[in-house]
Amino acid sequence: MGHVKIDVEKGSRSYNVKYSLNDAAGVKALLRDRHRISSARFRGDYAACDILVDLHSAINSAGLTDRQTEAIAWVYGADITQAKAAELMGIAQKNVSEAIDRAAEKMAEVYKRWEYGEITVEYTEDNNENESEGDAA
């Protein structure tokens, strides 16, 4: 007669993201996704806990200046734009960008000393949540 194609995994999808922590770009990507990794802790992902503890230790061990620490906290902690962070810090957006770049380089050096290399994080995304978020926008 006919057939019906049913996607049994329609409600959620999972994918892996690799972070190369030996360079500043990988560190910035990890910082960018910190909130997503943090939410995985509450689903029982103990590896996410380890990643966040190591990230916190890398930040503390990198010898960041106060301005670098503040820039990281505003942009990646509070999830605001570099322009808004610059306004709050009383400096130019270019200076915030440079502070973040230097901080990421210092943190990458810490990960290199630890011989951390590359990590892979698995994300599970609930498509129903994304559809409802899109409807609200």
Q: What is the pLDDT of residue 93?
A: 97
Residue 3 confidence (pLDDT) above 70: no
Residue 59 lies in a domain: yes
Domain extent for 32: 18-122
Residue 60 lies in a domain: yes
Residue 11 lies in a domain: no
Q: How far apart are CA 81 and CA 87, in angstroms?
A: 10
| pLDDT tens sequence across 73-113 | 999 999 999 999 999 999 999 999 999 999 999 999 999 99
Confidence of residue 55 (pLDDT cuts 50, 70, 90): very high
Q: What is the pLDDT of residue 134?
A: 39
Q: What is the pLDDT of residue 6?
A: 55
Mean pLDDT of the chain: 85
Instruction: Give the burial string for 64-81 (b: 16+ CB within 10 Å, else e).
Output: beebbbbbbebbbeeeee
Residue listed under structure tokens 């061990």: 61
CA atoms within a 13 Å half-sphere pointing along the CA-CB vector of 50: 7
Q: What is the pLDDT of residue 115?
A: 94
Q: What is the pLDDT of residue 65?
A: 97
Identify which has the larger pLDDT, 9 or 54.
Answer: 54
Residue 137 lies in a domain: no
Residue 3 lies in a domain: no
pTM above 0.85, yes or no: no
Number of structural domains (the chain) is 1
